[in-house]
């Protein structure tokens, strides 16, 4: 299949090609949604050390004035993704953190208070992991509104994930939370929002006429579902997979596969290069 961005970004599906042609032909109606970890930011063993690809902030600054909106949808606290970009200078950027439960805009974060179950999990998780025999390297990331159990630093991350999974599910269920699986991580978090619902709501808010979403992990499948359902409503879309050997389920469902965060940034720069600056913008 062809591509308005040339041979490096050939679409795998006709619907994806239609979506990208709509974005290029009508950029002021285009909503660009992006995951953070694994998509804008290379995966590293320590989440505190993660930073966006060095060319990502520039790519977003180039793209944002040319489209309806750029939105980052992440499982991180929204302010963390902004800091780790750094993305403070991206014009009009919105960051929806905690799978859409938080909204960062113009330096302000708006979010409902976390439900009491988060504190229950905070109190019970260390013992639950110890009783489950969590191996060395398994650790808890407390994100305030949710708690993530990471296994990437264990000797066998997949075996460690399988070992602790029943305990995390059991505790989360008793606390009224859900478990969000990801790349060697299980996150106990409040229900009621996911990246798909957040993307749909934001597309509606901005009256988007096309939507693109790029992601790499299982939590991004809900955003792919949203693109599918928006297409059903007559809004063309593009599903971009930031490819990795760790997760294959997004690639199967994507319209375009690029090579990790470096490939995502190349794609965003190529897209921005095809779009005229919006009238009145300082680019």
Ligand X SMILES: O=P(O)(O)OC[C@H]1O[C@H](O[C@H]2O[C@H](CO)[C@@H](O)[C@H](O)[C@H]2O)[C@H](O)[C@@H](O)[C@@H]1O
From the CB of 184, what's the least distance to ligand X, in Å?
5
Among 27, 38, 196, 236, binds ligand X (CB under 6 A): 38
Q: Does 102 bind ligand X (CB under 6 A)?
A: no
**Cα–Cα distance measured from residue 224 to residue 265, given in angstroms and rounded to the nearest whole number:** 19
Distances 108 to 88, 111, 113, 115, 148 between C-alpha atoms, Å: 11, 10, 15, 21, 24
Q: Does 244 bind ligand X (CB under 6 A)?
A: no
Q: Does 209 bind ligand X (CB under 6 A)?
A: no
Q: Does 150 bind ligand X (CB under 6 A)?
A: yes
Q: Does 152 bind ligand X (CB under 6 A)?
A: yes
User: What tokens does 204 get?
Assistant: 């509606």
Q: Does 130 bind ligand X (CB under 6 A)?
A: no
DSSP 134: P
Among 74, 101, 244, 254, binds ligand X (CB under 6 A): 74
Distances 276 to 63, 67, 91 between C-alpha atoms, Å: 10, 9, 16
Among 16, 27, 219, 243, binds ligand X (CB under 6 A): 219
From the CB of 44, what's the least distance to ligand X, in Å?
4
Give the interface size with ligand X as a residue count (CB under 6 A). Answer: 24
Cβ proximity of 179 and 149 under 8 Å: no
Judged by DSSP in three states, 93 sits in: coil
User: What tokens does 244 get?
Assistant: 């990795």
Binding stretches for ligand X (CB under 6 A):
35-38, 43-45, 47, 50, 74-76, 141, 143, 148, 150, 152, 182-185, 187, 217, 219
């Amino acid at each position: 299949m062809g591509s308005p961005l040339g041979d490096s970004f050939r679409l795998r599906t006709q619907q994806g090609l239609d979506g990208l042609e709509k974005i290029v032909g009508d950029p002021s109606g285009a909503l660009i949604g992006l995951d953070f970890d694994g998509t804008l930011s290379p995966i590293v063993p320590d989440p505190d050390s993660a930073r966006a690809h060095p060319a990502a902030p520039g790519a977003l600054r180039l793209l944002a004035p040319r489209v309806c909106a750029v939105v980052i949808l992440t499982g991180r606290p929204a302010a963390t993704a902004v800091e780790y970009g750094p993305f403070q200078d991206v014009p009009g950027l919105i960051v929806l953190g905690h799978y859409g439960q938080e909204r960062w805009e113009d330096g302000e974060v708006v979010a409902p208070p976390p439900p009491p179950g988060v504190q229950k999990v905070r109190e019970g998780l260390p013992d639950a992991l110890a009783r489950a025999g969590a191996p060395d390297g398994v650790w808890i990331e407390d994100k305030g509104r949710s708690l993530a159990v990471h296994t990437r630093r264990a000797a066998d991350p997949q075996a460690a994930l399988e070992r602790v999974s029943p305990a995390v599910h059991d505790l989360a269920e008793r606390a009224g939370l859900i478990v969000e699986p990801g790349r060697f991580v299980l996150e106990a978090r409040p229900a009621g929002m996911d990246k798909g619902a957040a993307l749909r709501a934001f597309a509606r808010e901005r009256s988007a006429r096309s939507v693109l979403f790029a992601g790499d992990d299982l939590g991004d499948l809900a955003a792919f579902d949203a693109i599918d359902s928006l297409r059903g409503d007559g809004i063309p879309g593009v599903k971009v997979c930031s490819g990795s050997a760790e997760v294959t389920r997004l690639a199967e469902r994507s319209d375009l596969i690029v090579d990790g965060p470096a490939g995502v940034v190349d794609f965003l720069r190529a897209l921005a290069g095809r779009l005229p600056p919006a009238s009145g913008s300082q680019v």
